[in-house]
Amino acid sequence: MKGFAMIKIGETGWIEKETPKCGPLDAICKPLALAPCTSDIHTVWEGAIGERHNMILGHESCGEVVEVGSLVKDFKPGDKVLIPAITPDWNSLEAQAGYSMHSGGMLAGWKFSNFKDGVFSEFFHVNDADGNLALIPDGIKVEHAPMLSDMVPTGFHGAELADVQYGDTVLVIGIGPVGLMSVAGANLRGASRIYAVGTRPKCIEAAKFYGATDIISYKNGPIDKQVLDLTHGKGVDKVIIAGGDVDTFEEAIKALKAGGKIGNVNYLGSGTYVKIPRVEWGVGMGHKQINGGLMPGGRLRMEKLGSLVAIGKLDLSKLITHTFKGFEKVEDALYLMKDKPADLIKPVVVI
Ligand code: NDP
Ligand code: ZN
**Residues 136 and 159 reside in one and the same domain:** no
**Residues 12 and 115 reside in one and the same domain:** yes
**Residues 121 and 220 reside in one and the same domain:** no
Which run of H or E residues covers position 223? Answer: helix 223-230
**Residues 17 and 90 reside in one and the same domain:** yes
**Residues 287 and 300 reside in one and the same domain:** no
**Residues 194 and 99 reside in one and the same domain:** no
Residues with CB under 6 A from ligand 1: 37-39, 42, 150, 154, 173-179, 197-200, 203, 218, 242-244, 248, 265-267, 294-295
**Residues 195 and 252 reside in one and the same domain:** yes
Q: What is the pLDDT at residue 349? A: 98
Domain range spanning residue 278?
Answer: 155-292
Which are the contacts of 241, defined by CB distance < 8 A and separation ≥ 6? 158, 173, 174, 248, 249, 252, 262, 263, 264, 265, 266
Q: What is the pLDDT at residue 230? A: 98
Q: Which atom of ligand 1 is nearest to the CA of 151?
A: 43
**Residues 133 and 165 reside in one and the same domain:** no
| 61 Cα: distance to centroid of ligand 1 (angstroms) | 20
Q: How many CB atoms lie within 10 A of CB 150?
A: 26
Last residue within a domain, chosen from 268, 292, 316: 292
Q: What is the pLDDT at residue 269? A: 87
| 265 Cα: distance to centroid of ligand 2 (angstroms) | 12
Q: What is the pLDDT at residue 337? A: 96
| 164 Cα: distance to centroid of ligand 2 (angstroms) | 23
**pLDDT averaged per 10 residues in sequence order, the chain, 351 residues:** 98 98 98 97 94 98 98 98 98 97 97 97 98 97 98 98 98 98 98 98 98 98 98 98 97 98 95 96 98 97 98 97 98 97 97 96
The pTM (predicted TM-score) of the whole model is 0.97
| Ligand having the closest approach to the CA of 38 | 1
Q: How many whole angstroms separate alpha carbon 249 and alpha carbon 252?
A: 5
**Residues 241 and 193 reside in one and the same domain:** yes
CATH number, domain of 130, equals: 3.90.180.10
**Residues 276 and 300 reside in one and the same domain:** no
Domains: count for the chain = 2
Q: What is the pLDDT at residue 130? A: 98
- Report in angstroms the alpha-carbon separations of 297 from 28, 41, 245, 254: 18, 21, 24, 32
CATH number, domain of 265, equals: 3.40.50.720
Q: What is the pLDDT at residue 286? A: 98
Last residue within a domain, chosen from 270, 292, 314: 292
**Residues 228 and 275 reside in one and the same domain:** yes
Q: How many whole angstroms separate alpha carbon 135 and alpha carbon 29?
A: 13
**Residues 62 and 15 reside in one and the same domain:** yes
Q: What is the pLDDT at residue 348? A: 98
